[in-house]
Amino acid sequence: MEENTVNCACDDDAACKKSVPSPDGRAVYRADFPVIRRLLSCTRRAVDEYGMIEEGDRIAVGLSGGKDSIALLCALINLSVFYPKHFELVAVTADMSFEDIGRPAMDFSPVREFCESRGVPFRLVKTHLAKIIFETRKESNPCSLCAKMRRGILHDAAIEAGCNKIALGHHYDDAVETFMLNLFHEGRLGSFSPVTYLDRKKITLIRPLIYAPEKDIRYFLAHNELPVVPSSCPEDGHTEREEMKQLLAQLDRKYKGLKHRIFGSLQSAGIDGYAPRRYANAVKEARRAEKEAATAGMPSEEAHLQDSAVGMPGAEMHTQKNVNVDLHGAEAQVQTVPDTE
């Protein structure tokens, strides 16, 4: 039987190449990335806690050419070697054709070569979004329209490739930044969801890097020669998100652990499906204990919920004192939305 190579999790500073046989029927990918332990650990945790991957899934990985999406692909390649549920990967890239507006063309051939060398099918979708957004529409907020149009193209390409899920490269810092952007600019509490089901297109979006800090992604890329394609977008580095990233960096230096507490608040409040299964189960158990205690005429065991929440980011500051807390649907981990995602 052909064998794959996967890094052992025993040493974060060296590529400990451990041969792992590929189970019968599984797609065989080359997985020999140095120092992937931390990134892989975050990915495995998110996939498990939010139920992102099921047996037989065919997952389209959205590759923009940036560091986050290529790191996501590497993590999923490694995960596929040993994960108990079999899944397949397809890489999908949307070329916006920045050359149409006089910007340098983005060369995705290194990305194609990388995918082919790892055994991952690659699909490149040629578009003319740059011309539509910057010349035809002349959008005052081009990033919003661009994101929506690129998502639509990615969704269609994934469906054409026979995929039932799409993996996006949003990470831990992205989640916190999005929460703050929504608060500052829209006056609402929320972020993108770890798992989102698009009911019209019958496809699920997953974000396996939701627990991965950006610094871990940068560390991984610094120790691997990966095909990161420089962006030709004229808005690159001049967005509201970039401003928020800098602001949060300043605040986190002054108020140590601020980002950690913001993310923990998303989870403990169950906003936009952020409550992991283990926390939702703890809440259900606490409610059951409350009901039994009330029936028996005994004091409520509020400590049960508090003990169950230990270990969650920010749990020490956000443990509920009343077990009858509204978790905004924390028991249902998948958010169903119209196809505006």
Question: Which residue range(s) make up the domain with 297?
Answer: 260-320
- What is the per-residue pLDDT for 338? 53
- What is the per-residue pLDDT for 147? 82
Residue 58's domain is classified under what CATH number? Answer: 3.40.50.620
Same domain, residue pair 123 and 266: no
Judge whether 115 lies within some domain.
Answer: yes
Same domain, residue pair 27 and 164: yes
Among the three residues 230, 250, 270, which one is the final residue of a domain in this structure? 250
Judge whether 333 lies within some domain.
Answer: no
Same domain, residue pair 76 and 176: yes
Same domain, residue pair 237 and 268: no
Same domain, residue pair 109 and 146: yes
- What is the per-residue pLDDT for 279? 63
Same domain, residue pair 9 and 117: yes
Determine whether 188 is exposed, middle or buried from the number of CB atoms within 10 Å of its CB (0-12, 13-18, 19+): exposed
Nearest to residue 311, comparing CAs of 177, 219, 191, 211? 211
Q: What's the CA gap between 72 and 262, in Å, rounded?
A: 23
Judge whether 94 lies within some domain.
Answer: yes
Among the three residues 250, 278, 298, which one is the final residue of a domain in this structure? 250
Judge whether 31 lies within some domain.
Answer: yes
Judge whether 93 lies within some domain.
Answer: yes
Give the bridge partners for 165, in sequence order: 59, 204
pLDDT tens digits, 233-248: 877 766 888 899 999 9
Same domain, residue pair 73 and 179: yes
DSSP letter assigned to residue 275:
S
Same domain, residue pair 46 and 90: yes
The whole model's pTM is what? Answer: 0.75
Same domain, residue pair 266 and 217: no
Judge whether 175 lies within some domain.
Answer: yes
- What is the per-residue pLDDT for 305? 44
Same domain, residue pair 194 and 123: yes
CB-based contacts of 271, cutoff 8 Å, min separation 6: 189, 190, 191, 265, 328
First vs last C-alpha separation in the chain: 42
Same domain, residue pair 246 and 266: no
Judge whether 329 lies within some domain.
Answer: no
Number of domains in the chain: 2
Same domain, residue pair 79 and 133: yes
Q: Would you give the distance in Å from CA 259 to the centre of its chain?
A: 17
Q: What's the CA gap between 225 and 229, in Å, rounded?
A: 12
Average pLDDT in the chain:
80
Give the bridge partners for 4, in sequence order: 20
- What is the per-residue pLDDT for 145? 81
Q: What's the average pLDDT block by block, 10 residues per block, for the chain (341 residues)?
A: 35 36 58 88 96 96 94 96 95 88 89 94 90 81 81 93 96 96 93 93 96 96 92 77 93 95 93 81 69 68 44 38 36 49 47
Among the three residues 197, 232, 250, which one is the final residue of a domain in this structure? 250
Judge whether 339 lies within some domain.
Answer: no
pLDDT tens digits, 231-285: 888 777 668 888 999 999 999 999 999 999 999 999 999 899 999 876 666 666 7
Determine whether 306 is exposed, middle or buried from the number of CB atoms within 10 Å of its CB (0-12, 13-18, 19+): middle
Nearest to residue 153, comparing CAs of 132, 179, 127, 177? 127
